[in-house]
Chain A
Amino acid sequence: AQSVTQLGSHVSVSEGALVLLRCNYSSSVPPYLFWYVQYPNQGLQLLLKYTSAATLVKGINGFEAEFKKSETSFHLTKPSAHMRDAAEYFCAVTGVSGGYNKLIFGAGTRLAVHP
């Protein structure tokens, strides 16, 4: 079975501050992991993905995430927040072997950026 836990349903940062959104996963098989962003009244857009190559993954809009197997984590970071980063962020997991085809999402973290 696979699952994702996102710690913190709401995160608030100042513009220019570090962004850290937490994601822990559980998977019976080697996972592929994703971060998606959702802006109001829109669908989900891929930020970045981990597919068993480099453990540090760089994505769009200056975001990056590090896969840590020992901690079963895939936290999302950005060195300096912009107002336009305000959105909801979702971590997701899928399997790449056997019958683990589902794409399972966490509950989401809403990021607020204030001046």
Chain B
Amino acid sequence: DAGVIQSPRHEVTEMGQEVTLRCKPISGHDYLFWYRQTMMRGLELLIYFNNNVPIDDSGMPEDRFSAKMPNASFSTLKIQPSEPRDSAVYFCASRVRQGAEAFFGQGTRLTVV
């Protein structure tokens, strides 16, 4: 398996634009996590899915953020409208079952200017 695949690796956008981050988890993994990493706040859990169903989105900072998992092999994290304070590295991770280790993608570095 190629591991968790995220796209794009880098995204630069203007304030107010819509941004969509994409993730392909490892095949057969039942859990998918979205994290945001910044210098100030570290690694924050935004939302996670189990069997494509969102279980806990309490980490999503605002209504501008939304996430979907239409099938077991694809998830998106959307920010609309984007703001400069959304600039961060966004990671997607997947794991096979409860309690197992998570495997991380390479991340998407988002810069909102």
Residues of A within 8 A of B (CB): 32, 34, 36, 42-46, 49, 51, 90, 94-96, 101-108
- Judge whether B99 and A107 touch: CB under 8 Å: no
Residue in B48, B101, B107 whose CB lies within 8 Å of A101 = B48
Chain A: CB-nearest residue to B92: A43
Which residue, of B42, B45, B48, B103, has the highest number of chain A Cβ atoms within 10 A? B42
**Interface of B, helix, strand, loop or mixed by DSSP:** strand
A106-B107 Cα distance, complex, nearest whole Å = 18
Given A101-B50, A101-B55, check contact A43 B43 (CB 8 Å). no
Task: Please measure, in the bound complex, the distance between the C-alpha atom of A95 and the C-alpha atom of B31, giving whole angstroms.
Answer: 14
B106 touches A108 (CB 8 A): no
Most B CB atoms within 10 A — which of A32, A51, A103, A105?
A: A103
Query: Across the interface, do B45 and A101 meet the contact criterion of CB distance under 8 Å?
Result: no
The interface residues of chain B lying within 8 Å CB-to-CB of A51 are 99
CA distance A90 to B56 in the complex (A): 22
Can you list 30 residue pairs at the A/B interface with Cβ under 8 Å?
Answer: A32-B99, A34-B101, A36-B104, A43-B4, A43-B105, A43-B106, A44-B91, A44-B93, A44-B104, A46-B101, A46-B103, A51-B99, A90-B43, A95-B99, A96-B98, A101-B31, A101-B48, A101-B50, A102-B45, A102-B48, A103-B45, A103-B48, A103-B93, A103-B95, A103-B102, A105-B42, A105-B43, A107-B42, A108-B42, A108-B43
- Bound-complex Cα distance A90 to B99 (A): 17
Residue contact A103 to B33, C-beta cutoff 8 Å: yes
- B104 with A43: CB separation less than 8 A: yes
In the complex, are the beta carbons of A42 and B106 less than 8 A apart? yes
